[in-house]
Chains A and B, each alone.
Chain A
Amino acid sequence: MSAGGRTAALELVGVDKRFPGVHALKNVSLEVRPGEVVGLIGENGAGKSTLMKILSGVYQPDGGEIRHDGRKVVLRSPIDAAATGIGMVHQEQSLLTNLTVAENIWLGKEKPFLKGRLIDHKAMAAAARRQLEKVQIDIDPTVVTEKLSFAQRQMVELAKVLTLEEEIEGHLVIMLDEPTSVLEQAEIDILFARVRALRDRASFVFVSHRLDEILDLSDRVYVMKDGAVVAEMPSADADTEKLHSLMVGRSRNAEYYKENRQKPYRPEVVMAASGLTLAGAYEGVDFELHAGEVLGIAGVIGSGREELARTLGGLAPATGGTLTVFGRPARLATPGEAVSLGIGYVPRERRVEGIVGFLPVVANITLGNLRAVTRGGLIDHAKERTTAETWVKRLAIKTPTIRTLVMNLSGGNQQKVVLAKWINAGAKIIVLDHPTRGLDVGAKEEVYELVRSITAEGVAVILTSDTLEETIGLSHRIIVMKDKRVTERFEAMPGGKPDQLDLIRHMV
């Protein structure tokens, strides 16, 4: 499907990819024309990362094919992809901070600079300087990368990818994976100017959460949802609201979110914020959280909701306003303080922060409150077992025995173990930071059941979620944030749940 008689620089035809329990990419086709900037958007879990990994040779597709300049190619590894002409500017930067800029640019490609067995540093630096000129940045290539700012390093990454130009035949395609997430506006402007200037040298695939940036930089936009491309349009025909509804638009299934089990929350207020502010992140946030309530926080990246959730977990202390927990003022300066006040924070990186994978279920559950099962300085194993078994039953944790190592459980059940640990430790407020990220459909459902179970017992939940659908389905009430402020509040009891478009209107 070449456009206007020209062969696409890069083309995906019917690419399919499955992981156990997840159909990550469903018959995805897209093309990138020479000199074009293509935007790629989608919610978390829509398949963007999988697609990027297939294009950079990390994953192999199960079906379909990839064509570069009209020829079918197989990308077995990142090195293979680069040799074909598909380069990647990584979100987590791929420069070694202890080497100089020139050394980084030519890492693994030192051969042309060898004189005998020794490296000619002058020639290497001069060649690096030529690469840096392509992105018009004035950096001394002999400087150690550590000394560069994040924005400068990104430019070096771009220069490094552009070295492929001289090594490949045909068109160069560069993938930019969330390149702006840590840049200041002035730095973003520079990056965009460079990308535009480089269009006669390469095509770009630009992945971002920020729809305004996508519209600003891209010629065309692809929208992905649930592993499939659901829309493709010229940027000129799109606006942020349209794109956002395409990304999220699907009918909510009340049964999926166990809405029949959603009970009204109790009158007692467990946590209240008034004028809560974290400089640079959010301002003047007010809310009340009741026992047994799920309070959803909706907003796009940069709205301040991520930081708000972290504040409530004790990870990012607020700089202004007041916060009360169970009627008493609290600062939540450390996670330890949050825990002692009865707040449990369930991080999105469950494997990293939430569980100890090589310990059994029982040890994980009692980890937060070992004192309760300790007698005379020694752990009472019988008591510990009883405690763990109670939780396994109450939260329906699917595990062969309580001796099973947590790393062998499914994602949803790991999440249950994390929650059991917190509630066993006396947590009455749970902050769920993207609780279903990376989980398959079945595991998600288990998490939803879990939310219903713990709120029925009076535990209050603060929820930030990957999808609006999930926020609406689970929450009793929703606060919507935009540009660091709360822009609207919704009641979301069963039968009276707001529409996604209602929320989006206040988000973008």
Chain B
Amino acid sequence: MAASAIRLPPASRIERLRAFTPVIVLVVVFAVIGAIAPAFLSIDNLVRIMNASAIPLCLALGATFIILMGSIDLSVEGVVAMGAVLTALLVQNGANANDLGFLAIPLVLLMGAAFGFVNGVVHVKLQIPSFMVTLGMSFIAIGIATVMLAGERVRITDTTFRELALGRVLGIPMGVWVALAATLVAYVIQTRTRLGRWIFAVGGGEDILRLTSVPVGRVRILAFTLAGVFYGLGGILSAAQLGQGHALMGQGRLFTTITAVVVGGTSLMGGQGGVQNTLVGVLIVVGLANGMVLMGVPPYVQTGVQGVLIIAAVALAVDRSRARIIK
């Protein structure tokens, strides 16, 4: 009856377009680079891009959950290094007598979860901003990894284990399949579980949740734990790919991770975006890096372009009509 007086306003075209901006950017980036350097779009190179995307994707999946809550996780590099070192020490290697093979995987994931859990607990219980806690934890993890190896590196001699990154199925490296499986798991968690739902809710308005029975603190701790598992996976793939483990193996991973998540369209304010965005974001960032190499762009300029990219992505995403105070 009178309900007709309050109908839905139709979504504006721009609004609908906005959701697809990252995909459009991806297509444009690939088309432009492909036009300049045709080798970019060759099958071989596309496989190379996929391969280079595998580890950043695993890391960015974890970071997506944190950024969806409006928090930030800077522990990526530390946990990756820790994961790689631990992996190298648990499988057959040149430093000790261990030979756990694939059994190392759950143990390393557990380690990642443990670091994430500590991140979450310290952040929630001591009420320390997430960026500070995770930055500290990153250094702690790198410190532990350094001590474990006394600053040395350790070689992996288990060739079967290295197949995890290097083996190929249907011409595509195993690492890519692992990352895709991780993406699927992350997507299901995001869309189909209570935790996923609550992560969006925390990012959308934590103050409102006080009136509901959503356990905000527990959601935060679980999200950080989950992110740690994904970083651990990134560490395992790093070790398998390079055939070694050392304390600096995470170097440079943090910036790519955050850039990929943000370029993909997940809002730094929380509540908007998700795993699907991150997949696109990783392809943009890795594709661009690969393309710049093919086009002969000097390495220092490449780093600069990444910096421009992340600022541009945030500048485009911020809804300035509703902007409040920015710190």
Q: Chain A interface (Cβ within 8 Å of chain B)?
A: 78-79, 90, 94-99, 103, 107-110, 114, 117-119, 121, 136-140, 143, 147-149, 151-152, 155, 186-187, 189-190, 193
Contacts and interface: CB of A to CB of B under 8 A. Distances in A.
A139 B213 CA distance: 25
B6 interface: yes
B173 to A, nearest CB: 30
Given A107-B212, A143-B8, A190 B3 contact: yes
A187 B212 contact: no
B194 A152 contact: no
Nearest to B5: A186
Contacts of B9: 147, 149
B188 interface: yes
B208 A187 contact: no
Contact of B271 (A96, A117, A155, A187): A96
Given A94-B208, A96-B205, A118-B188, A149 B213 contact: no
Contacts of A94: 208, 211
Task: Identify whether the interface residues of B are mostly helix, strand, loop, or mixed.
Answer: helix
A137 B209 CA distance: 25
Contacts of B3: 136-138, 190
Contacts of B8: 139-140, 143, 147-149, 152
Contacts, number: 81
B317 interface: no
B105 interface: no
A388 to B, nearest CB: 26
Given A99-B197, A103-B200, A114-B194, 4 more contacts: A90-B211, A107-B214, A138-B7, A147-B11
Interface string B217-252: 000000000000000000000000000000000000
Nearest to A57: B211
B192 interface: yes
Interface string B278-307: 000000000000000000000000000000
B203 A98 contact: yes
A187 B192 contact: no
Interface in B24-67: none
B204 A78 contact: no
Of A78, A107, A152, chain B has the most CB atoms within 10 Å of the CB of A107
Contacts of B194: 110, 114, 119
10 contacts: A94-B211, A98-B272, A99-B197, A107-B201, A107-B212, A140-B8, A149-B6, A149-B9, A151-B6, A190-B3
Nearest to A81: B211
Contact of B212 (A79, A98, A119): A79
B13 interface: no
Contacts of B192: 118-119, 121
A190 B201 contact: no
Of B6, B211, B214, chain A has the most CB atoms within 10 Å of the CB of B6
Contact of B201 (A90, A99, A140): A99
B169 interface: no
B1 interface: yes
B320 interface: no
Interface string B1-19: 1111111110100000000
B193 interface: yes
Instruction: Give 8 nearest A-B pairs by CB, closest first.
Output: A96-B204, A108-B212, A98-B271, A108-B213, A98-B204, A118-B192, A108-B214, A78-B211
